[in-house]
Amino acid sequence: MGSHLNFKNFVDAPSMEGNWSEPPGNFPLARQSSIYSLTFDELQNTFGGLGKDFGSMNMDELLKNISTAEETQAMMTASVPGGEDGVSGGNLKRQGSLTLPRTLSQKTVDEVWRDLMKENDGAKDGSSGGGANLPQRQQTFGEMTLEEFLVRAGVVREGMQQIGVPNNSGFFGNNSGMALGFQQTNGNNGFWSNNNSVLNQPSRSPLNTSGVKSSHLQQQKQQQQPQHQLQQPPEPLFPKQQTVAFAPSMHLMNTTQLASPGARSVVVIDDPSMNTKLVQSTGLQSGGMGIVGLGSPASQISSDVISKNSVDTTSLSPVPYVFGRGRKCSVALEKVVERRQKRMIKNRESAARSRARKQAYTLELEVEVAKLKEMNRELQRKQDEMMELKKNQMLETLKRPRGGKRQCLRRTLTGPW
């Protein structure tokens, strides 16, 4: 798998690999100038505009910054022939805009990162050989490439399928990291390597990120397709891997969504449609599930730039994100999903309890208020009565005695003269 890939800028790979089980070799081709392959650190340094600390940025802002940065970069890499079809060089294709799932955008990068880390722990073991296992990568926030982050954050959805497919080593491990771990299950690995374009992993795939919908592979394919997609016979699951289970998305998703396994396959599929072209549309789509794009079509996907496909904002489906291309066996994956589901349920229950508590307290206060008001009214009334009574009594008492006294004071005529 990795062998096919050229690792051009593999600079980051070694460092990133901290946990990876996969040899760096798996990394995809040289890093293209895609912005996605840059690590956060690099991004921050390079693009002044992004200067803000990534951690506290909102996902929204992050994406915006990424797009701005990408555009800048695209211009710089104009030399590479862009052309959707048959682009051999890596092109940064920017398509559409990344749309984040609503839920995701509200989180800050830090939060997503934390979630990813958590997820990572669980997912680590899964990735096995096959392509770089992204999950393992990135020990530090800074080292994670944008791609990786986005993928994991569920902005980009990857097709989950076949995690097992070894090919994927190609993730795009990118040197840059962004490699959204797409696991390209199919033999695609080779593809990327062909073109340096690697970068993109995300773009690769027409796999749409919309993996979310995974259930409808077909749909996705079509959606993704627009651009250069490799024309391959659509396979429902594009071998690429991607099981993208996003930790954050998991939380966000409701259990029902979790249940939709279909998503997995979706993402990847787009690739099939891709024909040798580069795919790129990275489809960074919200929906977070992995960027399918990686799906590197069998033919070469030449560096497809990360093209952003219009994201279909399908409901997020908590598809487990599998890093490292298909390495994770389904059992481990299920555990991860299950754990997430449980956590989500627990959280919901806790929230419900909290609401009930609040409501009970309010009700009690209302009852108290009503009681006190009534008591107050009663007491007021009684007091008025008492006053009235007293007043009357006093008046009466006053009248009688006066009359008597006057009489007494009368002088009588008595005298000796």
Partner 1 sequence: MSRSVEPLIVGGVIGDVLDMFTPATEFTVHYGTKQVTNGCDIKPSAAADKPHLQILGPPLSSSLYTLVMVDPDAPNPSEPRLRELLHWIVVDIPHGHDATKGRELVAYMGPRPTIGIHRYILALFKQEGAMGGGSQLPDGRANFSTRQFAAQNRLGLPVAAVYFNSQKEPAMKKR
Q: Rank residues 365 and 386 by Cβ distance to partner 1 and give the closer one.
A: 365
For partner 1, the binding residues in 7-46 under the rule CB under 8 A are none
Q: From the list 349, 374, 378, 384, which residue makes contact with partner 1 (rule: CB under 8 A)?
A: 349
The CA-atom distances, in angstroms, between 365 and each of 307, 352, 358, 360, 361 are 57, 20, 11, 9, 6
Alpha-carbon gap, residue 278 to 300, rounded angstroms: 7
For partner 1, the binding residues in 197-236 under the rule CB under 8 A are none
Q: Rank residues 102 and 348 by Cβ distance to partner 1 and give the closer one.
A: 348
* 52 near partner 1, judged by CB under 8 A: no
Alpha-carbon gap, residue 371 to 142, rounded angstroms: 60
Options 28-36, 269-277, 311-319, 355-363: segment touching partner 1 (CB under 8 A): 355-363
Structure-derived torsion over alpha carbons of residues 315, 316, 320, 323, reported in degrees to the nearest 10: 110
Q: Rank residues 338 and 384 by Cβ distance to partner 1 and give the closer one.
A: 338
Minimum CB separation of residue 370 from partner 1 in Å reads 7
Amino acid present at 182? F
Q: Rank residues 213 and 340 by Cβ distance to partner 1 and give the closer one.
A: 340
Residues paired with 320 in a beta bridge: 245
Options 243-251, 260-268, 316-324, 351-359: segment touching partner 1 (CB under 8 A): 351-359
Minimum CB separation of residue 372 from partner 1 in Å reads 11
Minimum CB separation of residue 354 from partner 1 in Å reads 8
Minimum CB separation of residue 252 from partner 1 in Å reads 20
Write out the H or E segment, with its range, that includes residue 250.
Answer: helix 247-252
Minimum CB separation of residue 171 from partner 1 in Å reads 38
Render the burial of 373-407: b for 16+ CB within 10 Å, e for the rest: eeeeeeeeeeeeeeeeeeeeeeeeeeeeeeeeeee
The CA-atom distances, in angstroms, between 156 and each of 31, 50, 148, 151, 367 are 19, 20, 9, 5, 52
Write out the H or E segment, with its range, that includes residue 38.
Answer: none
* 346 near partner 1, judged by CB under 8 A: yes
Q: Rank residues 370 and 387 by Cβ distance to partner 1 and give the closer one.
A: 370
Alpha-carbon gap, residue 264 to 402, rounded angstroms: 105
For partner 1, the binding residues in 158-197 under the rule CB under 8 A are none
Residue 234 is encoded by which pair of tokens? Answer: 């659509």
Minimum CB separation of residue 359 from partner 1 in Å reads 5
Options 3-11, 56-64, 138-146, 346-354: segment touching partner 1 (CB under 8 A): 346-354
What is the CA angle 270-183-67, rounded to 5? Answer: 70
Of the candidates 3, 365, 37, the residue with the CA atom closest to the CA atom of residue 202: 37
Those residues whose C-beta lies under 8 Å from the C-beta of residue 312, and which sit 6 or more positions away, are 208, 210, 212, 213, 220, 223, 285, 287
Q: From the list 45, 106, 350, 380, which residue makes contact with partner 1 (rule: CB under 8 A)?
A: 350
Those residues whose C-beta lies under 8 Å from the C-beta of residue 145, and which sit 6 or more positions away, are 12, 16, 36, 37, 38, 39, 40, 138, 174, 175, 176, 177, 178, 179
Residues paired with 245 in a beta bridge: 320
C-alpha atoms less than 13 angstroms from C-alpha of 107 in its C-beta half-sphere: 21
Q: How many chain residues are in contact with partner 1, going by CB under 8 A?
A: 15
> Site map for partner 1, 290-329, x if CB under 8 A?
----------------------------------------
Q: Rank residues 53 and 368 by Cβ distance to partner 1 and give the closer one.
A: 368
Minimum CB separation of residue 341 from partner 1 in Å reads 15
Q: From the list 52, 102, 353, 381, which residue makes contact with partner 1 (rule: CB under 8 A)?
A: 353
Minimum CB separation of residue 360 from partner 1 in Å reads 4
Minimum CB separation of residue 342 from partner 1 in Å reads 11
For partner 1, the binding residues in 356-375 under the rule CB under 8 A are 356-357, 359-361, 363-365, 367-368, 370
Minimum CB separation of residue 339 from partner 1 in Å reads 15
Q: Rank residues 76 and 370 by Cβ distance to partner 1 and give the closer one.
A: 370
Do the beta carbons of residue 303 and residue 199 sit within 8 Å?
A: yes
Interacting residues toward partner 1 by CB under 8 A: 346, 349-350, 353, 356-357, 359-361, 363-365, 367-368, 370
